[in-house]
Structure 1
Amino acid sequence: MLIELVAAVALGFAAAGLALLARRAVPSLPRFTVPAVAGLAMIGFGIWSEYTWFDRTSATLPDGIEVISAPAESAVWRPWSYVTPLVLRFMAVDLVGARRNEAAPGQVIVEAYVIGRHGPRARIPVLLDCVGLRRADIADGIDFAPDGTIAEGDWRPAAPDDPLIAAVCGTS
């Protein structure tokens, strides 16, 4: 976020310099042209940065990590987002690193990633039961039986159209 602030300020100075040159070339331009152009350039950069963040970030994901959910949002303080909502967070899953256990057919352990625009990235190991349509986050204290199946877990039901279930179980 600090880099974006520095980039916006630098762009503002560059735009102000160009507006100052234009004002000297055309003296009839009003005095407020220089700060207005600088402000508009910084606001435009902020809007561009918000709208292109998802595409730029998802393009840097390694092969095998697939974006499964990217909800678009609108906000009062971004009135333009009611015209074109923007993506500020998304969920991805590592399909290449999926682990299966022959003793528990239909169960898959995957790494899910929650990536936000202005927040930390979270890596969540998840156990999915493709047959029973349920999921359990693998956390400290989860017990595995000797054959590798989960002994006790906090299973939660999942809908068939759940993005995580659809991405992982649709490929099994």
Structure 2
Amino acid sequence: MIWELIATIFAGVGGAGIALLIRKISKQNAPKWLVPALAGLAMLGFQVQGEYDWYEHQASLLPEGVVVVKAVEEKAPWRPWSYLYPQTMRFIAADVANSAQNKIDPNLILVDLYFFERRSVAKRVPQIVDCLQGARTDFTQNFSASQQDNNHKQTWHQLDKSDALLTSVCS
């Protein structure tokens, strides 16, 4: 985050430098307000470009075997341009390469999901995907694959048949 701040400041200095060059070429006929205006536009432009490039950059850094299963685009009133071009501010990736099949019930697959959000630390959440039922649940120490174990009820969340998590883990 500190590097982003430093880069934003340098973008502002660059924008101001261009405005000063324009004033020099025009023999000081260009208005003085052009210097802070171009500096501000350069900093704002750099930030907007960074917001839009964040998802592609983060997704390209994922190791082989980690697949993006959901990307969340957002619109916000403080980013009016996002109504025309929504920004991907969060996404979920599944570590398919290191998923593990349950030995008791081969339809159950343990997979790590990684939740990425702009300007936040990634979070890892282990999940169990039931390929036969098309559902997922959180993996806990009390998880039981047995249907007879009523002491530890799991909350299963149904997935669409075309859900990217289901198709990538169960194929």
**Alignment correspondent of 2:13:** 13
Secondary structure of the residue that 1:28 maps to in structure 2?
A: coil
**Once the 2 structures are TM-superposed, how far is the Cα of residue 153 of structure 1 from its aligned partner?**
4.7
Query: What's 1:87 paired with?
Result: 88
Q: Deviations over 1:16-58 (max 9, x none)?
A: 1222122112121111111111000001001100011000110
Aligned length: 165
Percent identity, aligned pairs only, is 35
Q: Quick one: distance in 1 between partners of 2:12 and 2:127? A: 45
TM-score by length of 1: 0.88
Q: After superposition, where does 1:95-114 map in structure 2 within 5 Å? A: 95-114=96-115
TM-score (norm 2): 0.89
Partner of 1:116: 117
1:25 maps to 2:35: no
After superposition, residues 89-168 of structure 1 pair within 5 angstroms as 89-139=90-140, 141-144=141-144, 149=145, 152-159=152-159, 160-168=161-169
The C-alpha deviation readout for 1:60-114, integer Å capped at 9, x for no partner, is: 0000000010021110000000001010000000110010123212110001000
Deviation string, structure 1 residues 100-135 (Cα, Å, up to 9, x no partner): 123212110001000000222110111111112222
Match of 1:72 in 2: 73
CA distance in 2: counterparts of 1:85 and 1:77, whole angstroms: 13
Shift of residue 162 of structure 1? 3.5
The CA distance in 2 between the partners of 1:97 and 1:13, in whole Å, is 46
Query: Does 2:56 correspond to 1:52?
Result: no
AA aligned to 1:77 is W
